[in-house]
Amino acid sequence: MLWPGVKKLGKELNFKRTDFEVAGILKNCFVKLYDGRNMKVLELYAPQMDGDDKNDVIKKLESRKIKKYDWLSNGVKITFVEILKPYSMKKIRDILDELVKYFSEKYPEQKSLCQHCGEEGETQIYGINNVSMLICDNCYRQYTRDIEKENTEQTNAPNNFLFGFIGAILFAIPGIVVTTLFLIYLERLAGISALIYVFLGILGYKKFKGKISPAGAGIIMLAGILMIGIGIIVAYCVLIFRELGQIDFDLLLYVLREPEVQKEIGINIALSYLVSAVYFFLQFRQLFREWKNIKSIQKLREI
């Protein structure tokens, strides 16, 4: 998201925005600004940037005590580190103005190049998957075609729900061992082992190429519900054999019919479902993001 400081400066400069950046042209430079974790970032692309230019840029940055910067193709990425308080937007504006002045005076006849093909043609800023880029008309057409193709492929990808389900079940099987160990050594805390079924289930579903979609999430959940139940019951059987000191199925059935034992198993299954539900919904957000991962190219919008 965009924080107010970057948004305000973007507005002052008549920039436009994607979901995460403000971007625009200043004289002959393509500029974008965005927030990071404990930092603000300024990217500036000039028509060209040779060794002398880089030295001049370094001098300007150092005179303002800006230490963190990286070189981009014909550009520089400056990171303004924020410790405890936000970095002054005025200082960012000042260095931006200074750099733009430098490049516009040094290369007055040139404009910023297409960031994709490097040609100097008619360029416009587009948000490509929410990242702003300066590209020419040809590259715009190419991107549009590629993105449409990719999106169609993703939508038409085979569902593979059955394989995904099998994968989720198979991968979750080692979870039973974990549940058994938890039950033997930690008793009531066995419910925590339910996390592993969700984790392994998602992994197995993906490995078996199950399609990420709402139905896919439902299938992962179904596999989890099954395997958690099976895991607890198998773990109790092992525990009972262990206490009996022998593997006797008649005795096992006798013990399992005891109301107290059934209650105990019921409580453990309920606790496991509770734990796994919380974890599943945390994971579900990630799955949802992957599912929503439709590629896009569009003009930037007003701030």
Closest-CA residue to 123 (of 108, 112, 110): 112
Instruction: For the segment 61-80, give every residue that binds Zn ion (CB under 5 A).
Output: none
- Segment interacting with Zn ion, rule: CB under 5 A, options 129-137, 165-173, 251-259, 265-273: 129-137
- Asked if 128 is part of the footprint of Zn ion (rule: CB under 5 A), the reply reads no
Nearer to Zn ion, 61 or 136 (CB): 136
Cα separation, 276 vs 198, in Å, equals: 7
- Asked if 117 is part of the footprint of Zn ion (rule: CB under 5 A), the reply reads yes
- Asked if 139 is part of the footprint of Zn ion (rule: CB under 5 A), the reply reads yes
- Site size with Zn ion, rule: CB under 5 A: 5
Nearer to Zn ion, 116 or 295 (CB): 116
Report the relative pairing of strands 39-45 and 29-36 from DSSP bridges.
antiparallel
- Segment interacting with Zn ion, rule: CB under 5 A, options 139-147, 155-163, 226-234, 278-286: 139-147
User: Which residues are CB-contacts of 298 (< 8 A; sequence separation ≥ 6)?
Assistant: 126, 127
Cα separation, 209 vs 173, in Å, equals: 18
- Segment interacting with Zn ion, rule: CB under 5 A, options 72-80, 108-116, 164-172, 241-249: 108-116
Distances (CA, A) of 139 to 30, 144, 145, 150, 217: 17, 8, 10, 16, 37
In angstroms, give the least distance from the CB of 140 to Zn ion. 8
Question: Which residue from 13, 44, 66, 136 is in contact with Zn ion, where contact means CB under 5 A?
Answer: 136
Nearer to Zn ion, 123 or 213 (CB): 123
Closest-CA residue to 100 (of 58, 66, 57, 134): 57
